[in-house]
Amino acid sequence: MKRSKSIRLILLGGLSTAALTGCEQKPTVSTQNYYTNNFYVPGAGYYHAPFRKWFPLPYNHLDAAKQLYFYGGQWGATPFESITNISSPLPEAVVLAENSRTDVTRGGFGNSYGWHSYSSGGGWSGFHS
């Protein structure tokens, strides 16, 4: 019997730790902050300071097969040169980055929670996963 009690305590401790870890608050992306080239936000991508937005590839990423460099959402034959290597993002880039983030938990019940509404037609409607 003692053995099963200790197992339960370990499991409860593990679940508590997992629950508390999930509550960790990540810093929000803001127009008030300054970011350097290639500052990475999971889900949003890499920050390109001269363009003040996030992109899926790092700033001046070389595609060896094409021999082209990626910067600011486009490809070029040479790396993009700019004296800007730190900047604050545009307001619309902040909204997009925050909405695209994969390093923050949204909602209290994960993927099993959806919204419901009662329609005047006499039934429930809405998204439910």
Distant-in-sequence, close-in-space partners of 15: CB < 8 Å, separation ≥ 6:
none
What is d(CA 109, CA 114) in angstroms, rounded to the nearest whole number? 9
- Which pLDDT tens digit goes with each residue over 36-74? 999 999 999 999 999 999 999 999 999 999 999 999 999
What's the confidence (pLDDT) of residue 27? Answer: 81
What is d(CA 46, CA 40) in angstroms, rounded to the nearest whole number? 5
Q: Is the pTM of this model over 0.75?
A: no
Residue 128: pLDDT band by 50, 70, 90 thresholds?
very low
The Cβ-side half-sphere exposure at 94, using a 13 Å CA radius, reads: 14
**Sequence ranges of the domains in the chain:** 27-103
